[in-house]
């Protein structure tokens, strides 16, 4: 898995369980498939543990399932890596089939940072997220996700996310680090992080300091 620091803002307002078997999903209100360093390999692990069937059952029972980057690719129909970009060997893996998406890998990594805008009228399980803007999101991936046929509904504009009922996929990291997004997703706003508090203190203090004087005193 990758980018697991994204869950830091979630942990104070929800019981976060790192799932390794179907039994760990008992009573889950939300299932999150996080980023992955090797999507095809991790799909094989999901199948070996029975978690693929468990996640599918939960989605069919209207439990929300959110896939982020590599997790989004797992929610689709197929993941094809003909050049072995991940793992060094070509691979062709079947996804969970919860969204009509396919992923193919390219050698050039896609990089993006900037705002992300949620869809205007998201289905009921995600309605509280409708129209939200999250400024600090980013993408870092080799996989290119394409819609199959008519495609699912838009979860995030500009090709950053898809949704069908309780299942949502997004290629954007950083959503779970935004307090407004977390509050809309879980119904409780997370407390300020230490980094956030220090940033606010810095912004309040620095304009009133003679930084040149301080630097001279330090011999800088």
Residues designated catalytic: 69, 173
CA atoms within 13 A on the CB side of 68: 21
Provide the CA 89 distance to its chain's centre, in angstroms: 26
Backbone angles phi, psi at 188, to 5 degrees: -140, 130
Residue 7 makes CB contacts below 8 A (sequence gap 6+) with: 16, 32, 34, 176
User: What is the rounded distance in angstroms from the CA atom of residue 73 to the CA atom of residue 95?
Assistant: 7
| DSSP at 208 | G
Rounded Cα–Cα distance for residues 48 and 43 (Å):
9
* Alpha-carbon torsion (108, 113, 114, 119), positive or negative: positive
Distance CA 171, CA 159 (A): 9
Give the whole-angstrom CA distance, residue 193 versus residue 104: 37
Residue 88 phi/psi, 5-degree rounding, is: 85, -10
Task: Tell me the two tokens of residue 31.
Answer: 């299932």
């Amino acid at each position: 898995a990758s980018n697991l620091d994204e869950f830091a803002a979630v942990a104070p307002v929800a019981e976060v369980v790192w799932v390794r078997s179907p039994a760990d999903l008992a009573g889950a209100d939300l299932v999150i498939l996080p980023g992955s360093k090797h999507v095809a390999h991790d799909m094989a692990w999901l199948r070996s543990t029975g978690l693929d069937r468990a996640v599918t059952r939960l989605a069919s029972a209207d439990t929300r399932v959110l896939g982020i980057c590599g997790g989004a690719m797992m929610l689709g129909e197929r993941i094809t890596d003909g050049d072995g970009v991940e793992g060094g060997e070509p691979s062709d893996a079947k996804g969970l089939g919860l969204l009509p998406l396919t992923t193919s890998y390219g050698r050039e990594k896609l990089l993006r940072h900037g705002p992300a805008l949620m869809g205007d009228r998201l289905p009921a399980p995600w309605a509280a997220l409708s129209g939200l803007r999250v400024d600090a999101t980013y993408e870092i991936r080799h996989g290119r996700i394409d819609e199959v046929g008519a495609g699912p509904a838009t979860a995030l504009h500009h090709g950053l996310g898809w949704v069908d009922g309780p299942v949502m996929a997004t290629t954007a990291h950083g959503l779970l680090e935004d307090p407004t997004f977390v509050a809309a997703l879980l119904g409780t706003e997370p407390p300020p992080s230490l980094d956030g508090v220090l940033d606010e203190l810095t912004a309040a203090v620095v304009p009133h300091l003679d930084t040149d004087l301080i630097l001279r005193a330090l011999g800088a």
